[in-house]
Amino acid sequence: MAADGGDGMTGEVAVLGAGMHPWGKWGRGFVEYGVAAARAALADAGLEWRDVGSVVGADTVRGGYPGHVAGATFARALGWQGARVASVYAACASGAQAVAAARAQILAGLADVVLVVGADAAPKGFFRPAGGDRPDDPDWLRFRILGATNPTYFGLYARRRMAVHGDTVEDFAQVKVKNSALGALNPNARYRKRVTAEEVAASAVVADPLRLLDICATSDGAAALVLSSLEFARRRGVTEPVRIRAVSTVTPTYPNTVLDLPDIATDSAAGVEPAAETFRASIARAAYEEAGLGPEDLSLAEVYDLSTALELQWYEDLGLCGQGEGAKLLREGATAPGGRIPVNMSGGLASFGEAVPAQAIAQVCELTWQLRGAAGDRQVEHARAGITANQGLFGHGSAVIAVR
pLDDT digits (tens, 9 = 90+) for 276-327: 899 999 999 999 999 999 999 999 999 999 999 999 999 999 999 999 999 9
| Closest alpha carbon to 368 in 316, 280, 300, 315 | 300
Please give the pLDDT value at position 7: 43
Centre a 10 Å sphere on the Cβ of residue 45 and count the other Cβ atoms it contains: 26
The residue ranges of DSSP E strands in 260-334, in sequence order, are: 300-303
What lies within 8 Å, CB to CB, of 355 at 6+ separation is 23, 33, 118, 119, 120, 122, 218, 219, 220, 221, 222, 362
402, β-bridge pairs: 244, 386
Question: What is the pLDDT averaged over residues 140-148?
Answer: 85
Is 132 domain-assigned?
no
Question: When comparing pLDDT for 356 and 272, which is higher?
Answer: 356
Domain match, 25 and 165 both: no
4 pLDDT exceeds 90? no
Is 2 domain-assigned?
no
Report the domain count for the chain.
2
| Closest alpha carbon to 55 in 33, 79, 90 | 79
| Closest alpha carbon to 250 in 287, 275, 303 | 287
Please give the pLDDT value at position 286: 97
Is 49 domain-assigned?
yes
Of how many residues is the chain composed? Answer: 404
Domain match, 298 and 364 both: yes
What digits encode the pLDDT tens for the residues 78-119?
Answer: 999 999 999 999 989 999 999 999 999 999 999 999 999 999
233 pLDDT exceeds 90? yes
Cα distance between residue 215 and residue 237, in whole Å: 44
Query: CA 101 → CA 30, 200, 235, 300, distances in Å?
Result: 21, 40, 23, 24
Task: Please state whether beta strands 205-207 and 210-211 pair in parallel, antiparallel, or not at all (unpaired).
Answer: antiparallel
CB-CB contact of 268 with 290 (8 Å):
no
What lies within 8 Å, CB to CB, of 49 at 6+ separation is 39, 42, 78, 79, 81
Cα distance between residue 109 and residue 7, in whole Å: 16
Domain match, 229 and 103 both: yes
Please give the pLDDT value at position 3: 36
Please give the pLDDT value at position 9: 58
Domain match, 31 and 154 both: no
Please give the pLDDT value at position 5: 35
CATH code of the domain in which 72 resides? 3.40.47.10
Phi, psi of 33 (to 5 degrees): -65, -45
Cα distance between residue 78 and residue 80, in whole Å: 7
Domain match, 121 and 195 both: no
What digits encode the pLDDT tens for the residues 164-221?
Answer: 999 999 999 999 999 999 999 999 999 999 999 999 999 999 999 999 999 999 999 9
Domain match, 202 and 332 both: yes
Domain match, 286 and 300 both: yes
Is 306 domain-assigned?
yes
Domain match, 103 and 204 both: no
Buried b / exposed e over 192-210, threshold 16 CB at 10 Å, is eeebeeebbeebeebbebb
Domain match, 98 and 162 both: no
Domain match, 104 and 145 both: no
Domain match, 207 and 296 both: yes
Domain match, 78 and 104 both: yes
Is 130 domain-assigned?
no
CB-CB contact of 54 with 282 (8 Å):
no
Is 39 domain-assigned?
yes
Amino acid at 207: A
Cα distance between residue 180 and residue 253, in whole Å: 35
312: containing domain: 138-212+243-403
